Structure 1
Amino acid sequence: MTDAAGVVASARRRLAGAPRARLGELVTPRLFAAARGPRVVPRGEAWHLGVLLIADDALLATGEIVRAHDPGRRGFTAQASRERAELALAALRGGFAEGETVHVGWHVVDLDAVARGEASGPVTLVGAVPSVRWSRGAGRMPLAEYLDERIALLLRPPQGA
């Protein structure tokens, strides 16, 4: 049996020097600052590996990924499109550079809970093996294999990617 914390620690060592993604948190202003609107404030960096983010001190489940920009005034055919545009503008307001990719809405995966046999985000034990569900409709894949595959893609992306 390999514990999830050990698998993640090993992944961190292999990722040293690899590019990281920025993390942000949506902050809604208090009463008098409401005129400025919500903003996404920086909350660190992590390696983006599919449905997981590996930070220096935590394993995170991904949330939304947006590119900071000002969408300008335009009509939207769907509420979801409007909300994504507002989130992109909030990232720009929060200090992210125009065009910068930001992870928002991520949450911490509790590796202690996984060790106890509980699910936390997309990670759980299957038998005695820490495993990850990499999409809603997919089965579970051993965490070590999943991270091996994702790290290889991050360090050596396919040509043209």
Structure 2
Amino acid sequence: MAEDSGHHPGVGDDELVRLCRDTAAALSEAVVRTEALAEFLPATKRLVIFRGPATMRPLGEVWRLGVLLLATDASLWAAGSATRSRERGREGYQSQSLEHRRDIAAAALRGGYSEGTVVNYDATPLPLDTGAIQALGGDSPLGFSDGRVRVRWRAGAQITGAVTLEQYLHERSELLIHPPLAAT
């Protein structure tokens, strides 16, 4: 079944904004710990030879809700990558991927985050209006089917039959507010 292409009554943009605001308020009231959200700024050339090191520009604070990040201002983001800020350390002869991860962690530290802070980066802002959500592709965690905004568990998954955004935010926020006993 193809994704819906028309606007549906009852699925208002105001409802989506309210849903995100209410979820953010519940997480805030429960004093659930947030994580940082930042934009990764790659190294830049300066004076033709010298390079300015990579850094991160703070964008705000978020709660990680699986494939989604909910910001304290109630904006919604598709989760990208995450790191813990830390010193780069000496360059070793490790794999390129390990060296890259160390560079990213050091960029977070240079961005002003204290050591050990979880920093989400490469996240994509998501619209909170049904028209824009309907236009999103299959690589987005949000989609529209059966008159409802729904959440894909992974990029490319079918949106038909996926959990609604309302159910998803409720279930994920409840796990943070009331974690299972083994997780505490």
Superposed CA deviations along residues 94-120 of structure 1, whole A, max 9, x for unmatched, are 111111100011110012255662226
TM-score (norm 1): 0.85
2:6 match: none
Paired amino acid for 2:152: R
Shift of 1:138: 5.0
TM-score (norm 2): 0.75
2:39 match: 25
Contact 1:114 1:130 in 2 (8 A): no
Q: Which has the larger radius of gyration?
A: 2
In 2, the alpha carbon distance for the partners of 1:45 and 1:113 equals: 25
Superposed CA deviations along residues 19-76 of structure 1, whole A, max 9, x for unmatched, are 2111111123543285341111222111221111112051111110101112422222
Q: 2:153 aligns with which of 134, 140, 151?
A: 134
Contact 1:52 1:62 in 2 (8 A): yes
> Is structure 2 residue 92 aligned with structure 1 residue 80?
no
In 1, the alpha carbon distance for the partners of 2:171 and 2:103 equals: 34
Contact 1:49 1:151 in 2 (8 A): yes
- Flag structure 2 segments of 5+ consecutive residues without an equivalent: 1-9
Paired amino acid for 1:75: Y
Paired amino acid for 2:102: A
Paired amino acid for 1:35: R
Report how many aligned residue pairs link the two structures. Answer: 160
RMSD of aligned residue pairs (Cα, Å): 2.3
In 1, the alpha carbon distance for the partners of 2:78 and 2:94 equals: 29
Paired amino acid for 1:124: G
Shift of 1:143: 1.0
Identity of aligned residues (%): 31
Paired amino acid for 1:156: H
Paired amino acid for 2:61: E
> Is structure 2 residue 9 aligned with structure 1 residue 16?
no
